[in-house]
Amino acid sequence: MEYHDPVEMGHSARLPGTSSVDRIVCHVDVDCFYAACERLREPPLRGEPVVVGMGYEPGSDAGAVATASYEAREYGVESAQAISEALERLPRKIDAAQDDDLDVADAGFYRPVDMEYYESVAGDIREILSEYADVVREVSIDEAYLDLTERTGWEEVESVATALKSEIAETVGVTASVGVAPTMSAAKVASDHDKPDGLVVVEPGEVGPFFAPLDVEEVHGVGPVTASELQEIGIETAGDLAAADPARLEAKFGERGRRVARFARGDDDRAVEPRGDPKSLSRESAFTEATTDPERQTDRLLTLADAVAERARRREVSYRTISIKVVTPPFDVHTRAESLPGPVDDPELVASIATDLFAEFEGTQIRKLGVRVSNLSFADGDQPSLQQWAGEEAGEAGNPGAEPEGDPRAQTDASATEATEQATVEGSQGEETAERESPEAEQPADGQRRLGDFDR
Ligand SMILES: [Mg+2]
Residues in the chain: 456
3-class DSSP assignment, residue 453? helix
Question: Are 171 and 124 contacting, i.e. CB atoms less than 8 angstroms apart?
Answer: yes
Predicted confidence band of residue 306 (pLDDT cuts 50, 70, 90):
very high
Least confident of 44-58, 244-258, 429-443: 429-443
Give the rounded percent of residues in the chain with a pLDDT score beyond 70: 78
Question: Are 28 and 143 contacting, i.e. CB atoms less than 8 angstroms apart?
Answer: yes
Ligand 1 center–CA 114 separation, angstroms: 16
Q: What is the pLDDT of residue 396?
A: 29
Least confident of 86-90, 103-107, 110-114, 395-399: 395-399
Q: What is the pLDDT of residue 163?
A: 97
Distance CA 433, CA 408 (A): 29
- CA dihedral (38, 164, 187, 446) in degrees, to 10, reads 30
Closest CA to 445 of 436, 454, 229: 436
Between 395 and 190, the higher pLDDT residue:
190
Query: Rounded to the nearest 5°, which phi and psi values hold at 197?
Result: 60, 35
Ligand 1 center–CA 231 separation, angstroms: 27
- Best mean pLDDT range from 36-40, 123-127, 257-261: 36-40
Question: Are 98 and 312 contacting, i.e. CB atoms less than 8 angstroms apart?
Answer: no
Between 34 and 1, the higher pLDDT residue:
34
Ligand 1 center–CA 456 separation, angstroms: 5
Ligand 1 center–CA 143 separation, angstroms: 6
Residue 363 has pLDDT above 50, yes or no: yes
Fold of domain 35-113:
MutS, DNA mismatch repair protein, domain I (3.40.1170)
Task: Give the DSSP per-residue string, 84-127.
Answer: HHHHHHS-BHHHHHT-TTS-GGG-BEEEE--HHHHHHHHHHHHH
List the beta bridge partners of residue 82: 64
Give residue-wise pLDDT tens across range 134-146.
Answer: 889 998 899 999 9
Average pLDDT value for residue range 38-48: 96
Average pLDDT value for residue range 73-93: 95
How far, rounded to the nearest angstrom, does the alpha carbon of residue 392 sit from its chain's CA centroid?
Answer: 24
Closest CA to 188 of 200, 204, 175: 200
All CATH 3.40.1170.60 domain ranges in the chain, comma separated: 35-113
Question: Are 146 and 140 contacting, i.e. CB atoms less than 8 angstroms apart?
Answer: no
Q: What is the pLDDT of residue 436?
A: 25
Category of 141 on φ-ψ map: left (φ > 0), alpha (ψ -120 to 50) or beta: alpha
Predicted confidence band of residue 380 (pLDDT cuts 50, 70, 90):
low
Residue 444 has pLDDT above 50, yes or no: no
All CATH 3.30.1490.100 domain ranges in the chain, comma separated: 280-433
Closest CA to 155 of 116, 214, 210, 203: 203
List the beta bridge partners of residue 50: 109
Least confident of 250-264, 296-310, 411-425: 411-425
The 10 Å Cβ neighbour count of residue 128 is 16
Q: What is the average pLDDT score of the chain?
A: 80
List the beta bridge partners of residue 65: 53
Give residue-wise pLDDT tens across range 206-227.
Answer: 998 999 999 999 998 898 889 9
Ligand 1 center–CA 449 separation, angstroms: 13
Between 350 and 428, the higher pLDDT residue:
350
Between 154 and 15, the higher pLDDT residue:
154
Contacts 24+ apart (CB under 8 A), 301-307: 301/354, 301/355, 301/358, 301/369, 301/371, 302/351, 302/354, 302/355, 304/354, 304/369, 304/370, 304/371, 305/347, 305/350, 305/351, 305/354, 305/355, 305/371, 306/347, 306/350, 306/351, 307/283, 307/371
Q: What is the pLDDT of residue 417?
A: 29
Give the rounded percent of residues in the chain with a pLDDT score beyond 90: 60
Residue 456 has pLDDT above 80, yes or no: no
Fold of domain 280-433:
Dna Ligase; domain 1 (3.30.1490)
Predicted confidence band of residue 7 (pLDDT cuts 50, 70, 90):
very low
Ligand 1 center–CA 31 separation, angstroms: 5
Ligand 1 center–CA 165 separation, angstroms: 14
Q: Is the peptide bond before 196 cis (omega within 30 degrees of 0)?
A: yes
Least confident of 113-122, 224-233, 433-442: 433-442
Ligand 1 center–CA 69 separation, angstroms: 11
Q: What is the pLDDT of residue 423?
A: 27
Q: What is the pLDDT of residue 448?
A: 33
Q: What is the DSSP letter of 257?
A: H
Residues with catalytic function: 143
Distance CA 142, CA 125 (A): 8
Sign of CA dihedral 396, 397, 398, 399: positive
Ligand 1 center–CA 286 separation, angstroms: 23
Average pLDDT value for residue range 188-206: 94
Q: What kind and span of H or E run contains 37? A: helix 33-41
Query: Rounded to the nearest 5°, which phi and psi values hold at 295?
Result: -70, -45
Ligand 1 center–CA 35 separation, angstroms: 10
